[in-house]
Structure 1
Amino acid sequence: MPGQSVGVVVDPGVPREVSGVLRANAPLLSRFRAGWVPPAAPPAERRRRGTSSVMLLAATPLVLAVMAVLLESPAAPVGFVLLGMFVLVVLVKMASLNELPVTARPRERGVYEQARWYDGRYLLPEDFDAEAAAVLSRAQQAIGSVLRSHVNAEGLLDGARNAVMLPEQEWEIARLLAKLSALRAEHRELLARGVAPEVAAVVEPLERALANSEAAVVARVEALERYAGHVGDAERAFHARSQIEELRSRLPRYEELLAESGADALAVPEIERLAEDADALERVLRRSVSSAHEAFRYLEG
């Protein structure tokens, strides 16, 4: 089905807590768009429920005291009747309270209000046809790999700019792909109805416009993928350098062992080359980060 591989995409200008709510409630947002409105308990009804609960709670000590007196007196049967009536009232009240979430649906109503307020600033999976969803998924994978990388977290990349620009890129790509999907759907519907010969000359330029627009969006995604590729190279060099540094820190212990065992003359050159390997990996890391910065500047246009 179209849009299966992507979730809700939210304008990065939407507050983070709201964005999280929208991203986590794709099925609900789809139901809202289809016209479903979650019911809310009327304020008067909520006040009545609250007032009756307070009254019941306030009356409990008095009822219990009266029952205790009655049960110790000749009027014990009256006490049992009163106890039964009180238990019945409590059970009825508990049942009514259990029904409140079903009728009021506070969570659904909260999501509904946020969705209405930020309408137009989020896109749902069904906004993308299969081709657009595949392109958007590629963009999201590239962006995610950069933002989750250790080189980004360690500040070897421009983490602050990545945190701002990459979500903006995702939103812009998603927005264009949603428009493209809608126009493609309309175009296919038109062709399915049959096109008169007089209209055929107009259809071809429109199809070229759709193809060129898709190619432009794909070019953006490929630029993101190239950036992610450079970051991936830097990530591998970063981890390899860390491992080499760890091995270098152990060298004195190996040298001490060789000397004490009388085998220091047989020390293999590979151990001595660790420092050289670390320096080489440092150069690779610097080149990879430099390439990533160049790719980032290309993304900025």
Structure 2
Amino acid sequence: MGVVVDPEVPPEVAGMLRANAALLSRIRSGWVPPADARPGRFRSVSSVALLAATPGVVALMAVLLALSHPAAGFTLLGTFVFIVLVKIASISELPEHDVSRDREVYERARPYRDRYLLPEDFDRDAADVLTRAQRAIGSVLRSHVNAEGLLDGARNALMLPAQEWEIARLLAKLSALRAEHAALVSRGVAPEVAAVIEPLDRALATSEAAMIARVEALERYAGHVAEAERAYHARGQIEELRARLPRYEELLAETGADALAVPEIDRLAEDADHLEQVLRRSVRSAHEAFRYLES
């Protein structure tokens, strides 16, 4: 399901939000990435200490060699080199993706904290309903009949993402109320409160039914588009076959069998006309279903 973003959020910010669901979840829970999060700053103290120690180590090694203690001098040098190598290895193993990227996401997401929804905002039933809506919307927007302009592509591109956001927003609100309601009921309900709980139960159920009806309307629209899509592809195949007919007719004429082919050729033409009618009916039905969504 992923992150659902208000379609009015700028596209570059929306893309960033959708790509960082786990990080946004941590931020939502109260985690704040450090402001100074460049790897160089974390490594600066130890790196400077090593750099400052180098002249002293070299001088001490020279003294040991001058006092005829080469073993101690080389041991000191070896130890220092080992420490430097370990430091280099630790630097190289640090991940490229540092906290500065997390900070950038945090800063850019803050102004839009009420304009996106995370998977944890939905209970299981709400997530299922939202997934159905997203599947229907995606099938319409990805269809060839939409891309070819047989549907109203511009209106689809505007209205369907708005529908997804509105459905997601209401389902998130429904999920939150259901969770609060379940928590209250789980503590036990006094007889005096039961009379109030029952209409609240009905309100939640009625709201859920309304959302499901809305999603079913989207699914009906997607169904009409799918029918138009099938007719569109079939029509294309028939047209491709019709374009090849002269070569078949030529072959049949040369072999003396052309009289047998006439009924089949006529049937192919009828199939093409039939598919054209089916496509037009399907597109017309899709337009009617679209108008129903707007009402």
TM-score normalised to the size of structure 2?
A: 0.82
Aligned partners of 2:37 and 2:99 also within 8 Å: no
- CA shift, 1:34, in A, is 1.5
For 1:26, the aligned partner's letter is A
Q: How far off is 1:100 after superposition? A: 7.6
Give 1:114 shift: 2.1
1:13 aligns with 2:8: yes
Of 27-36 and 219-228, deviating more is 27-36
Shift of 1:37: 1.6
Summarize the Cα distance change of 1:232–1:42 in structure 2 as closer, same or farther, 3 Å threshold: closer
In the alignment, is residue 105 of structure 1 matched against residue 107 of structure 2? no
Residue 226 of structure 2 is matched in structure 1 by: 232
Question: Aligned equivalents of 2:262 and 2:284: distance in 1?
Answer: 34
Note the C-alpha offset of 1:40: 3.3
**Structure 1 position 271, deviation (Å):** 2.3
Deviation at 1:99, TM superposition (A): 7.9
Q: Which residue of 1 aligns with 2:268?
A: 274
Specify every segment of 5 or more residues in structure 2 that has no aligned partner in the other structure, as ranges: 52-77
Match of 1:30 in 2: 25
Counterpart of 1:217 in 2: which secondary structure?
A: helix
Structure 1 residue 106: Cα displacement: 2.1
Q: Residue type of the partner of 1:256?
A: E
The whole-number CA distance in structure 2 between the counterparts of 1:297 and 1:151 is: 17
Q: Deviations over 1:36-80 (max 9, x none)?
A: 22223279x76x97xx9xxx9xxxxxxxxxxxxxxxxxxxxxxxx
Residue range with higher mean Cα deviation, 113-122 or 193-202: 113-122
Instruction: Give the residue type in structure 2 aligned to 1:109.
Output: R
Whether 1:219 aligns to 2:213 is yes
Q: What CA deviation, in whole Å up to 9, does each residue of 1:209-246 have, x standing for no partner? A: 10111111111101100000000010000000000000
134, 147, 156: which one pairs with 2:150?
Answer: 156
Give, in whole Å, the separation in 2 of the partners of 1:256 and 1:103. 66
Task: Report SS of the residue matched to 1:195.
Answer: coil
- Partner of 2:160, secondary structure, is helix
1:245 correspondence with 2:242? no
Contact 1:41 1:103 in 2 (8 A): no
Quote how far apart the aligned CAs of 1:115 are: 2.1
- Listed one character per residue, the Cα deviations across residues 105-124 of structure 1 (whole Å, up to 9, x for unaligned) are 12211111122121010000
Q: Among residues 126, 129, 133, which one is paired with 1:135 in the alignment? A: 129
* SS at structure 2 position matched to 1:203: helix
The 1:154–1:103 alpha-carbon spacing in structure 2 relative to 1, beyond 3 Å, is closer
Q: Distance in 1 between matches of 2:8 and 2:247?
A: 54
Name the counterpart of 2:58.
none
Distance 1:183 1:12, change over 3 A: same
Corresponding letter in the other structure for 2:19 = A
Where does residue 159 of structure 2 map in the other structure? 165
Which residue does 1:290 correspond to in 2?
284
Distance 1:163 1:42, change over 3 A: closer
CA RMSD of aligned residues (A): 2.9
Runs (5+) with no aligned partner, structure 1: 1-5, 57-83
Bigger drift between 202-211 and 91-100 goes to 91-100
- 3-state DSSP of counterpart to 1:273: helix
Amino acid of the structure 1 residue aligned with 2:110: R
Q: Quick check: 1:39–1:104 contact (8 Å CA) kept in 2?
A: no
Counterpart residue identity of residue 19, structure 1:
A
Q: Structure 1, residues 191-226: CA drift from partner, whole Å, max 9, x if none?
A: 100000000100011111101111111111011000
Secondary structure, counterpart of 2:178 in structure 1: helix
CA contact 2:133–2:164 (8 Å) conserved in 1: yes
Q: Given the alignment of the two structures, is residue 121 of structure 1 paired with residue 109 of structure 2, yes or no?
A: no
